[in-house]
Structure 1
Amino acid sequence: MNKTDKLVELLRRLNSEEITESLRSEALEMVSKVDPLELSLAEQKLIEEGTKPEDLRHLCDIHMEVLKSELDKLKLKLSPDHVLTTLIQEHDEILKLLTLLEEINSKIQKMNSYDKNIVEFNMLLKTANDIIDAENHHKREENVLFPELESRGVTGPTRIMRMEHDMLRAKKHEIRELAFEVSKIDFNHFKKALDEAAKYLIFNLRDHIYKENHILYPSSMETLTDSALWNQMKKECDKIGYCSFTPGK
């Protein structure tokens, strides 16, 4: 059994068995010996065998423990204007927006009624719009980075990321719609809907960013090794454009 097949079997066990300390230790030891591309290929093989992509979204807990230093290592390899440098910097800004959304939601949950003069309601709308403004970030991934990986046979990770983009887009727009309609709907209903949507978005978008930073982007560097290709990808990204919060843009 080759390394990819062993990793596939391990991921299958993590998805179907109780996570005992013994299994966790075995997983940590094996995953520490593989690179992100091998991990991506193992996940892809599971998908091809019939595992639903959404069932793989929660397989990351074990192997993420050994990837905590990967982002710092990756940054050292990248030039300031590299495609991945910009994507990582944008992730940092999106994470700040999620923290702000978390704070706004927490304050609104303590309120008893809507008041247009309370600053949090305007902040909620602005923050929702700012998060939605990340669309060009996703377009650069979906239209530039993902196709290059997929053309080289790396399709499992991008399939999961595309699926998550769609789910997250819907939740972002739901929050903005709630911010628009707060004065017209029952306040308790508004609070409940906002709390559910905000917590869903905050948890899942943070998780999504972590996976891209620590798995997808390192895998991309392993797969796409031609500097001329990255330069061409940068030109395509420039055509798509950037976000209002993109550093240096």
Structure 2
Amino acid sequence: MSEHINNREYRKEIIKQIIKELHDGKSVDEVKSRFEEAFKGVSAVEITEAEQALIKEGLPITEVQRLCDVHSAVFKGSIEEIHRESDPTKIPGHPANVLFLENREIEKIIENKIKPYIDNLSDKESVEKLKDGFEQLLKIDIHYSKKENLLFPYMEKYGITAPPKVMWGVDDEIRADLKSIYSDLSSGHLNDEIKKRIEEALTRVNEMIFKEENIMIPMLLDVMSQDEWKTAADNSSEIGHMLRWVPEWKPDEEAKEEIKEEMSEPGTITLPSGIFKVNELTHMLNTLPFDITFVGSDDTVKYFSESSERIFPRPRTIIGRNISNCHPPASVHIVEEIVDDFKSGKKEHEDFWIKMKDKYIHIRYYAVRDEKGKYLGVLEVSQDIKPIQEITGEKRLVTE
């Protein structure tokens, strides 16, 4: 067998076989024993390739997801340590560092706020403390949301598609388990099974910590550029942090990469949160379920959308026209007052609603300002809200 041990494909096939055996009902101990006999170490990349190969061969993602906790336990302790000259997980503010620190916070909550009270569910005070511990642990949603929305997109970008799908599914199961347990603790439904449910949920949380730190992060460190890590760091505040304070991470100037070629292609509009081709942006704006018009700081019309269901007719000849000349004399003073209030900072928005035949039109004006508060213009948004007002009940299924 030794001649096969260093053969990457052979090792991958063995990993696939082990996962399938777990799927077929073999115990963790049986599989782990065989695994330890065949390998001295295995890389995170090989584990991921095995998962992706299984999914490509037709094994449903939900099945791999169901095995996630089990094969995590099998692989634990055998994933080779990845050494780096400068370990990003130890650089303050780096997304990998923040993830590691949040995991340490999660472990503290489990060890100090939950585990000491699991065996005292008959004691009212212990149940209250346990409930408080789970309330803190529910903040794990922030941690998972950052992983799913800031890091998974880069895994997918570089062709690592199976791990994020599997991991996200398990994240959702953990969220649901924690919420259910907290709800039962809050309502006093302390049945005989709740201790077991708590222990199983905590095990799953710890297994996810292991997979994040030993599989996900090493893979991301192999493929993500410095600029991509910086983008993830800059957008973390949009979702939040489990930690009280997170320092700003500033990469070395020498490590920063040039703007991607795609951003400088002709006909490309580069915005802070995305990139559009002119054709894409035009039709995206025209697809919005409401009309928008933008008037610049010089009081002239700069843009309006052209959806198929326009509320107010606007010919393209109004581009460059002064906003005062676009309204009837009887109402122009209202428009001018709104603009003056926006410019002075007295107001940030103004709303109106009017009935037009079978429509109920909601018209909203917003002051547009830059990050320093400088006035840039006015955005007008008009929408027929009658169909929205008529909505009742709930709709959770896709229309056939």
Counterpart CA distance in 2 for 1:163 and 1:246 is: 28
* 1:55-81 CA-partner distances (Å, limit 9, x unpaired): 3542234432233744xx469511211
* 1:58-108 CA-partner distances (Å, limit 9, x unpaired): 2234432233744xx469511211001001100011112122322211222
Is 1:77 aligned to 2:65, yes or no? no
Aligned residue number for residue 11 of structure 2: 7
Change (3 A) 1:14 1:232: same
How many residue pairs end up in the alignment?
228
Residues 96-107 of structure 1 aligned to structure 2 (within 5 Å): 96-99=108-111, 100-107=113-120
Between Structure 1 and Structure 2, the one with more helix by share is 1
How far off its partner does 1:191 sit? 4.2
Residues 147-162 of structure 1 aligned to structure 2 (within 5 Å): 147-162=153-168
Between Structure 1 and Structure 2, the one with more strand by share is 2
How far off its partner does 1:124 sit? 1.5
2:15–2:47 CA contact under 8 A, matched in 1: no
Counterpart CA distance in 2 for 1:37 and 1:170 is: 29
Counterpart amino acid of residue 114 in structure 2: L
Aligned residue number for residue 169 of structure 1: 175
How far off its partner does 1:248 sit? 4.0
Per the alignment, in what secondary structure is the counterpart of residue 192 of structure 1? coil
1:171–1:201 CA contact under 8 A, matched in 2: yes
How far off its partner does 1:175 sit? 1.4
2:94–2:233 CA contact under 8 A, matched in 1: yes
Counterpart amino acid of residue 126 in structure 1: D
Counterpart CA distance in 1 for 2:44 and 2:10 is: 15
* TM-score, structure 1 normalization: 0.81
Counterpart CA distance in 2 for 1:121 and 1:68 is: 41
Counterpart CA distance in 1 for 2:74 and 2:145 is: 29
* 1:157-177 CA-partner distances (Å, limit 9, x unpaired): 111110111100011101111
Unaligned stretches of 5+ in structure 1? none
Counterpart CA distance in 2 for 1:240 and 1:37 is: 28
Larger Rg: 2
Change (3 A) 1:57 1:198: closer
Aligned residue number for residue 25 of structure 1: 37
Counterpart CA distance in 1 for 2:86 and 2:116 is: 33
Is 1:220 aligned to 2:220, yes or no? yes
Aligned residue number for residue 46 of structure 1: 54
Change (3 A) 1:83 1:233: same
1:94–1:131 CA contact under 8 A, matched in 2: yes
What percent of counterpart residues are identical?
19
* TM-score, structure 2 normalization: 0.52
Counterpart CA distance in 2 for 1:20 and 1:203 is: 18
Unaligned stretches of 5+ in structure 2? 248-400
Aligned residue number for residue 72 of structure 2: 60
